[in-house]
Amino acid sequence: MITNDGNAILRELDVSHPAAKSMIELSRAQDEEVGDGTTSVIVLAGEMMQAAEAFVSQGGPARVSLHPTQIVAAYHAALEHALKVCNTVARPFDSNDDQQFRRVIRSCVGTKYTGRWGDLIVNMALEAVKKVATVADPKTGRLEIDTKRYVRVEKIPGGEEADCRVMAGIMLNKDVTHSKMRRRIENPRILLLDCTLEYKKGESQTSVEITKEDDWNKLLKLEEEYVQNICADIIRAKPDLVFTEKGISDLAQHYLQKAGITAIRRLRKTDNNRLARAVGATIVSRTDEIQESDIGTGCGLFEVVKIGDEYFCMIDQCKDPKACTVILRGGSKDILNEVERNFQDALQVARNIALDPRVLPGGGAVEMNIARSLSEYAKTVDGVEQWPLRNAAAAFEVIPRTLAENCGADVVRVMTALRATHAAAYAKGELSLVGIDGETGELLDMADPAKEEQSVWDPFVVKVHYIKTAIEAAAMLLRIDDILSGMSTGK
């Protein structure tokens, strides 16, 4: 696997140590909840564990031996303090400003493989989120953005990365059932079914005993009449396109083709649900219950396209699709998988900001503010608990330090300068939003309007979630006294 996505790498590891397993679980939880920050959560959790190790094994810097519960209590206090700092540093975000929106998503994609196509993935993520956003509560204006169910990613090998796009509709890896059916229809009337268009088999094992030849012919005629009636129900609704989740018999295909109706069979349930949202149709379970209101008329163009060796039917140019398909093209499967991972991260970041429009400065600026504030707070705490607090403050510096290492800067010099900048601002009672420029390794003020293009802003949800997850995981692992392994005796 070729990737720099933290969760994708950890998912492939085969570990047996229980503590290591729980660390990998952190990354998965972060990925499922907010989609980004999967590497940061592991780095911070590991650093928090290392900060606590000194007190557990040797008795700490002041030769103070602390019980894990005291360290955990200090860590929870540090977490509360860190979240307060995040709320103070957070800035409101105008989710209607597309330019600002793109800048935040680009900061998530910039370090990844797809960063070299600039705004392509960024624009696609923004477009997809806007397409599937629906107002869940009209009173409060709360949005619902279900990207997992309604944004489908289709990876097609071949073509160039520049051919990637977000459709205003749905694409299915299907062809028409009958060769003479129409393969291109403008403004089609679409009917969605989840029942079979073939003779209904007996529910349980059915055996029929026939003594006369006429009875056999009558039986066959009944079957034909049944299929004919089903097709007559469909033809009465005058659809141009019929999609069903089940099968379509040859006879039904014949009747539908004669009526000029194109039929496509064996759709997935999830695809049918997406289609219903995209074209404004209702899925019907019985053909005799079809009403005019069930027909979807929101699609602008249906056509069957051959890409490579396979046929795809496109339901495109929908008026107000609340579901969409993202087409990804690339040279090989490895590239496509990586592009998909990067796109999913960008999609989640766009979704997070749309749901909670607040941002925090990146480049380690928030972590340095937390470290500075925690160090000062530790001085006000009496007793031995101040030591774990100080160590927790130092642990937060791992993020800017790692950033400095990754871009080949002089780590000691950059970190010293960064600490001095934040200390000077803190002394004046101000907040410093200075972090590290991920490309040059130099200090960069994220709030400087002149350097708006280079500045990095992270979604509030991602930052807060990874801090919470990392500290709580470290606290959970610290509470473990011993590991018991259950051995089977072979009896």
pLDDT, tens digit, for every residue of 129-157? 988 888 877 777 778 888 888 999 999 88
Question: Superfamily assignment of 98-168+326-356 in CATH?
Answer: TCP-1-like chaperonin intermediate domain (3.30.260.10)
Residue where the block lists tokens 């130099």: 442
Residue range(s) occupied by CATH 3.50.7.10 in the chain: 170-320
pLDDT score, position 70: 87
Question: 3-class DSSP state for residue 389?
Answer: helix
Question: 3-class DSSP state for residue 193?
Answer: strand
Q: Which of 311, 322, 219 is nearest to 273 (CA)?
A: 322
3-state secondary structure 65-116: CCCHHHHHHHHHHHHHHHHHHHHHHCEECCCCCHHHHHHHHHHHHCCCHHHH
Give the fold, CATH level 3, of 6-93+360-478: GROEL; domain 1 (1.10.560)
**Predicted TM-score (pTM) of this structure:** 0.81
pLDDT score, position 64: 64
- CA end-to-end span of the chain: 41
Residue type, 382: D
Residue range(s) occupied by CATH 1.10.560.10 in the chain: 6-93+360-478
Domain 170-320 in CATH 3.50.7.10 = yes
Please state the φ and ψ torsions of residue 152, each to the nearest 5 degrees.
-100, 130
Return the active site residues. Answer: 5, 38-39, 345
pLDDT score, position 240: 93
Residue range(s) occupied by CATH 3.30.260.10 in the chain: 98-168+326-356
Q: Which of 138, 137, 135 is nearest to 146 (CA)?
A: 135
| pLDDT < 70 stretches in the chain | 58-64, 111, 113-115, 118, 487-491
310-316 and 151-157 strand pairing: unpaired
pLDDT score, position 265: 92
